[in-house]
């Protein structure tokens, strides 16, 4: 009887603890100045979520293009590593904000909305035109 009671107590104590939940991921908005202070590495990715035409007209140096409105973005993030750090931007910060929320829902951990391209360019961040092949 004592053994059964002991097993029961152990089972109840394990069921009460439940699974450990981590802190929910939040998309962070960074100002252009905050973004300029970030350290880029092989674990970071800068993503321009504007259209390919907007991207060709000018984008941050080293950024990749994944069109949020055209549907490419939702498909492409399925192949991206969830432990990388992602910095997203668009023309105004609206599309990149929506894209960041989509990434959050997909389980990405480190997501930053860095706003609009023009502000980033005016802050002196390096830009380029065209598409690297």
Catalytic residues: 90
Instruction: Write phi, then psi, for 116 (nearest 5 degrees).
Output: -100, 145
Question: What residues contact residue 116 under an 8 Å CB cut-off, 6+ apart?
Answer: 89, 90, 91, 92, 93
Tokens standing for residue 24? 């929910």
Which DSSP category does 84 fall into?
Answer: S
């Amino acid at each position: 009887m004592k053994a059964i009671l002991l097993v029961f107590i152990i089972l109840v104590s394990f069921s009460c603890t439940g699974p450990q939940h981590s802190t929910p991921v939040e998309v962070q908005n960074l100002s252009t100045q905050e973004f300029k202070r970030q350290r880029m590495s092989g674990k970071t990715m800068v993503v321009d979520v504007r259209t390919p035409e907007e991207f060709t007209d000018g984008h941050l140096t080293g950024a990749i293009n994944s069109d949020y409105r055209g549907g490419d973005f939702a498909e492409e993030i399925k192949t991206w590593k969830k432990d990388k750090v992602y910095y997203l931007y668009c023309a105004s910060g609206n599309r990149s904000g929506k894209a960041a929320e989509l990434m959050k829902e997909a389980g990405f951990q480190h997501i930053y909305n860095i706003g609009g391209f023009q502000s980033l360019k005016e802050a002196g961040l390096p830009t380029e035109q065209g598409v690297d092949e």
